[in-house]
Amino acid sequence: MARPFLIDTDAGSDDAVAIVMALRHSDVDVRAITVVAGNVPLGQGVVNSLYFAELCAAEAPVYAGADRPLLREYVSADWFHGADGLGDWGDRYQPRTSAASDKHAVDAIVDTVRANPGIVLVTLGPLTNIALALRKAPDIAGLVSRCVIMGGAACTNGNVTPAAEYNIWCDPEAARIVFRSGLAVEMIGWEFSQGDFALSLEDIEAVRGIGTPYADFTIDCNIKGMKGYEIQTGEIGISLPDGVAMAAAIDPSICTAKSHHYVDVECDSELTRGMTVVDKLDLSHDARNAPVWRELNTNPNKPLICWQLDAGRWKELLYQLLR
């Protein structure tokens, strides 16, 4: 029996690849796609998500959720992904027949998790929807077997500030709620989208050579993002952090070094807003730090941090699912 997944997304170009991977995997049953404002505004994210499902001939229902962060002003990432999130191809990626559900994404998350104990939750955008669902129904934290988060940066630099990755920076208060909730969090940081993890020019040529609509879509919708990635890092290639996170969700062994640590999210400092502070050396047990971490120490689960990931195996899985 296929494993039930729930995907929460902000529906940009790397989300597109991740969702296609899940929808095409024979051992994954996507029970719901919930949409949050992030890479693109909520309405565009819903349109994109409907297209992803249509492309894969999947019956996964799509639900619209939060159109802004809990407390912050909404800031999109359209400079990277394009105004439509998919490289500004006009009406090329419009859904033809499908429509989103009338149910709100937060209610869909609560209902889907309760109906599928042990479900795998994969988050690809800001964590606003998940935080709101946890506030409404705290019990769902114990019903999720794995909460794989593409977000944060574990003891390294971010991509929107030197300290923070976009998904966490966009709504740090929501991220703090999620990391403190007791969910079985597995954090796949932005660091696994650079260097060998990005699609090189040779990789791009190999994907083009697959010759399926899924492979062509993977490259075409990320062409603008490729330019953004070069501006951001100086590297040439296609960065797919959400695809990497989905690969780890599908096959946990792709993450080759991981360990549990307390994690908190900085919400008060403008300099380090959205920083994922990982207690890698277990300093929270030091008496000098106990007051700072006391609230976290009540959590039943320490998040699982991925430290090393097999770049070759993630790409092999991607190619397999695009054929």
Confidence of residue 292 (pLDDT cuts 50, 70, 90): low
> Which residues are bridge partners to 148 per DSSP?
122, 186
Please tell me the pTM assigned to this model: 0.96
Identify the CATH assignment for 3-322 out of 3.40.50.460, 2.40.128.130, 2.30.40.10, 3.90.245.10.
Answer: 3.90.245.10
Closest CA to 40 of 8, 79, 6: 79
pLDDT at 296 over 90: no
Distances (CA, A) of 165 to 47, 155, 220, 243: 25, 12, 24, 16
Q: What is the pLDDT of residue 151?
A: 98
Tell whether the model's pLDDT for residue 11 goes beyond 90.
yes
Q: How far apart are CA 171 and CA 128, in angstroms?
A: 7
What one-letter code names the amino acid at 11?
A: A
Residue 297's pLDDT is 58
* Better-scored residue on pLDDT, 286 or 163: 163
Contact 265, 311 (CB under 8 A): no
DSSP letter (8 states) at residue 2: P
- Stretch 86-107: mean pLDDT: 94
Q: Which residues contact 80 (CB under 8 A, 6 or more apart)?
A: 12, 39, 224, 225, 228, 229, 232
Mean pLDDT for 47-71 is: 97
- Tokens linked to 323: 């054929």
Question: In whole angstroms, what is the distance from residue 229 CA to residue 239 CA?
Answer: 7
Nearest to 37 by CA among 89, 85, 100, 101: 85
Mean pLDDT lowest among 31-35, 96-100, 192-196: 96-100
Rounded distance between C-alpha atoms, residue 148 and residue 190, angstroms: 13
Q: Does residue 27 surpass a pLDDT of 80? A: yes
Contacts of 170 by beta carbon, 8 Å cutoff, 6+ apart: 38, 69, 72, 74, 75, 125, 126, 274
Catalytic machinery residues: 10
Domain residue ranges in the chain: 3-322
> What are residue 304's phi and psi, to 5 degrees?
-95, 120
Give yes or no for a contact between 164 and 272, defined as CB atoms under 8 angstroms apart.
yes
3-state secondary structure 30-84: EEEEEECCCCCCHHHHHHHHHHHHHHCCCCCCEEECCCCCCCCCCCCCHHHHCCC
- The answer to whether residue 286 scores a pLDDT higher than 90 is no
- The pLDDT of 106-118, averaged and rounded, is 98
